[in-house]
């Protein structure tokens, strides 16, 4: 039996007072909210009184009125529907509700949209456009699915090119890619099981693809590179795999657990979308980690030297002639020679990049996050600008009381009057009552764009002044406000409250894992500080690019003055986890060299030079995969792609190539400081047994 992934509904995804209102309305109106569709008929010269204008409107009505999939058709030409005619009388809207739930309605909307398009063709002097919850929802779902597919199609070639440069052989390239894609595919199917208990956000597949491709390639790259390195040093096939398992395999295990702990931090956010993201990302990281520790060594054992099959001569010659570590040695030598200057310079750059983060403001993206070329978006914007001067965000008030009682009726009437009197809300205000007359749903349009200061001020006035003075005076009445603005405000409030808990959880557990792994308080503390600098710099980049609009023309978007409300915590958790990949891998090689008797300075140079190629290659794969999302037309995806790509690039260059070695050189043997009272911590070996003279086995 196939189990489908259960997605998170809008009313279940809400938090705070919005969630309370959504639950009241969900129980009171089980027939679900109306799936309203709108057709805008607009002329630049004629008014609705013109016979040709009225003929166009009647053509729209005649086209849809006999369709069995619709109900509650309302014409702007009927008396009592004056609110559907604009003030200049050059625009009108025809509305109706689609029958059934969204999934049922969207199967029937294409025919209606096509017929409305034909109406526009028959009346070339008029703008005739359809939008609504079903037509817009279906268009956006398709756009997102198409963009996700395109992101995957672009990410894979980028990954293949990078891996070809690393290995120069087709078989070796296929192994990391196979592991990463199999981890993603397995997770996409397996996530259906926990989704029955914890519904997933509709964007979960995009996140799984993003993280799965990154860590899957990273882990197999670390392992495969070490196995090839040991093989080139003269070890036999089995001995090389065992050495890789004892070193890179151990690094993968530590890194994987650290990443999963970081992802688990999302579960403390109090947000159901984050809870789903946390479960899904932990699953894909866990599967990739297990595959690297089990399937990968088995595959390498089976293939042996066939891993080098399919060599591309030009690439092999280029790699051999250029020298993999030449560039990194050129960077590292002056850093270790003048560590104070290097540390101060790198730190100053990171602080400068992070400064814009002090002005970080979050907001739900709203309509401005979507390109105008998206089907129905242009029509929605025309409707908003024509009928409400851009005041587009309705507040939905759930009133739980005896709606037939005179006191309740009087309070609702006062609510309408006082709301409009504020100047921050306007009509038409719609009031619906459920069949049992126990709940009223009052829809009040708010000023502003929905997530801006104007809308938030209107919401505060409604919640803190208007409602307490009206519905609040009715004995036994309960009320709560939901809607787009309320959802955004409540989510922002919750995330600000929960962010310290999420950050604290991730930092404490990451510190503990690193402390146990490397038996050094200094190493663990420094890892936390360096990762925080990386994340801070990434925050600064997205604020400058998206909140301040510095990248509008380059990335083809329009700034809405804020950052997606879900992004800061998501980025922190993801980046903190992924940056541990590099940190653990590099420090494991440094510690391995130190344990074999090297001085700290020499161990640092050896560790970074021997991992430089792998780290830079892994970073290129991640940056390529993340940057693809920056090309998507959806603003939230652009922000995520640029933020993650910038962070990985900063982390793999400024932090790991400059700041890390400079600080390790300055601290010297103090890097390995562990107080005596922590001497009970377990000792984990960082290097395999020293190789003994043995004949090279011929496989």
Measured between alpha carbons, how far is 687 from 133 in angstroms, rounded to an integer?
60
- Residues with Cβ within 8 Å of 653's Cβ and at least 6 positions away in sequence, in order, are 619
Q: How far is CA 54 from CA 96, 319, 617, in A?
A: 18, 73, 65
Q: What pLDDT is attached to residue 691?
A: 46
Under 8 Å between Cβ of 502 and 266: yes
Burial of 464: CB neighbours in 10 Å, binned 0-12, 13-18, 19+? exposed
Kindly report whether the global pTM for this prediction surpasses the value 0.75.
yes
Q: What pLDDT is attached to residue 389?
A: 54
Class of CATH domain 324-355+531-688 = mainly alpha
Where is 188: in which H helix or E strand?
helix 170-190
Measured between alpha carbons, how far is 306 from 225 in angstroms, rounded to an integer?
15
Q: What pLDDT is attached to residue 90?
A: 92
Q: What pLDDT is attached to residue 698?
A: 41
Cα three-residue angle 289-617-266, rounded to 5 degrees: 45
Measured between alpha carbons, how far is 444 from 462 in angstroms, rounded to an integer?
10
Q: What tokens appear for 519 in the block?
A: 């038996």
- Domain residue ranges of the chain, discontinuous segments joined by +: 34-138, 168-322, 324-355+531-688, 385-488
In order along the chain (699 residues), what is the average pLDDT of each group of 10 residues? 56 75 84 76 92 94 91 88 86 89 84 92 91 83 77 79 78 85 90 83 78 84 81 82 81 84 84 84 92 88 79 61 64 89 94 93 68 75 71 81 92 92 84 90 84 84 93 91 86 83 88 85 90 91 91 81 83 82 82 86 85 80 83 82 90 88 90 87 58 43
Domains 34-138 and 324-355+531-688 share a fold: no
Q: What pLDDT is attached to residue 694?
A: 44
Q: What tokens appear for 654 in the block?
A: 């400024």
Q: What tokens appear for 415 in the block?
A: 């609510």
Measured between alpha carbons, how far is 231 from 244 in angstroms, rounded to an integer?
10
CA atoms within 13 A on the CB side of 89: 8
Query: In the beta sheet, which residues pair with residue 41?
Result: 92, 128
Q: What tokens appear for 302 in the block?
A: 């089976």
Bridge-based pairing state of the strands 430-433 and 478-482: unpaired
Class of CATH domain 385-488 = alpha beta
Q: Could you tell me which CATH number the domain at 34-138 has? A: 3.30.70.1430
In the numeric block, the tokens 């851009």 are attached to 390
Q: What pLDDT is attached to residue 231?
A: 81
């Amino acid at each position: 039996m196939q189990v489908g992934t259960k997605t998170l509904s809008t009313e279940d995804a809400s938090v705070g007072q919005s969630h309370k209102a959504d639950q009241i309305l969900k129980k009171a109106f089980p027939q679900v909210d109306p799936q309203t569709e709108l057709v805008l008929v607009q002329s630049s010269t004629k008014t609705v009184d013109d016979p040709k204008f009225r003929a166009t409107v009647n053509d729209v009505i005649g086209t849809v009125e006999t369709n069995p999939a619709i109900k509650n058709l309302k014409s702007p030409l009927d008396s009592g529907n004056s609110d559907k005619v604009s003030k200049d009388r050059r625009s009108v809207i025809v509305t109706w509700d689609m029958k059934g739930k969204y999934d049922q309605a969207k199967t029937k909307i294409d025919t209606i949209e096509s017929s409305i398009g034909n109406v526009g063709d028959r009346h070339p002097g008029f703008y005739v456009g359809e939008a609504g919850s079903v037509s817009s929802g279906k268009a956006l779902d398709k756009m997102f699915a198409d963009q996700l597919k395109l992101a995957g199609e672009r990410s894979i070639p980028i990954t293949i090119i990078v891996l070809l440069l690393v290995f120069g052989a087709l078989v070796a390239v296929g192994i990391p890619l196979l592991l990463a894609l199999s981890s993603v595919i397995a997770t996409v199917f397996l996530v259906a099981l926990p989704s029955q208990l914890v519904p997933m956000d509709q964007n979960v597949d995009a996140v799984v693809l993003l993280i799965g491709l990154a860590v899957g390639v990273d882990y197999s790259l670390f392992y495969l590179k070490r196995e090839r390195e040991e093989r080139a040093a003269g070890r036999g096939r089995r001995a090389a795999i065992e050495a890789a398992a004892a070193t890179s395999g151990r690094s993968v295990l530590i890194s994987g657990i650290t990443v999963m702990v970081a992802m688990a931090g999302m579960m403390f956010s109090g947000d159901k979308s984050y809870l789903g993201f946390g479960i899904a990302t932990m699953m894909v990281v866990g599967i990739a980690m297990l595959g690297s520790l089990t399937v990968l060594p088995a595959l390498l054992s089976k293939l042996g030297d066939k891993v080098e099959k399919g060599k591309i001569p030009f690439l092999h010659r280029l790699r051999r002639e250029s020298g993999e570590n030449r560039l990194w040695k050129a960077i590292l030598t002056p850093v270790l020679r003048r560590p104070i200057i290097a540390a101060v310079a790198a730190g100053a750059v990171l602080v400068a990049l992070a400064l814009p983060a002090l002005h970080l403001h979050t907001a739900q993206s709203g309509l401005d996050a979507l390109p105008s070329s998206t089907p129905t978006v242009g029509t929605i914007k025309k409707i908003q600008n024509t009928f409400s001067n851009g005041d587009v965000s309705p507040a939905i008030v759930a009133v739980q009381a005896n709606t037939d009682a005179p006191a309740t009726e009087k309070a609702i009437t006062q609510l309408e009057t006082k709301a409009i009197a504020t100047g921050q809300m306007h009509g038409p205000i719609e009031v619906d009552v459920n069949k049992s007359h126990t709940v009223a749903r009052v829809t009040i349009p708010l000023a502003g764009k929905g997530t801006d200061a104007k809308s938030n001020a209107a919401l505060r006035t409604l919640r803190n002044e208007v409602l307490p003075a009206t519905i609040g005076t009715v004995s036994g009445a309960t009320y709560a406000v939901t809607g787009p603005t309320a959802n955004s405000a409540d989510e922002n409030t919750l995330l600000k409250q929960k962010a310290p808990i999420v950050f604290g959880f991730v930092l404490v557990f990451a510190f503990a894992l690193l402390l146990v792994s490397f038996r050094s308080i200094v190493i663990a503390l420094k890892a936390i500080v360096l990762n925080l600098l990386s994340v801070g710099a990434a925050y600064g980049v997205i604020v400058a690019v998206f909140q301040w609009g510095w990248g509008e023309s380059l990335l083809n978007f329009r700034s809405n003055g804020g950052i997606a409300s879900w992004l800061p915590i998501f980025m922190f958790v993801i980046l903190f986890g992924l940056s541990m990949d590099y940190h653990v891998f590099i420090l494991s090689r440094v510690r391995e060299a130190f344990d074999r008797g090297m001085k700290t300075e020499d161990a640092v140079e050896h560790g970074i030079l021997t991992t430089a190629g792998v780290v830079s290659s892994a970073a290129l794969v991640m940056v390529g995969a993340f940057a693809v999302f920056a090309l998507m037309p959806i603003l939230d995806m652009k922000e995520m792609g640029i933020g993650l790509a910038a962070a990985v690039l900063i982390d793999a260059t400024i932090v790991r190539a400059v700041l890390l070695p400079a600080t390790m050189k300055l601290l010297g043997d103090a890097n390995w400081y562990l107080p005596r009272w922590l001497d009970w911590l377990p000792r984990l070996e960082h290097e395999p047994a020293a190789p003994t003279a043995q004949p090279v086995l011929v496989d």
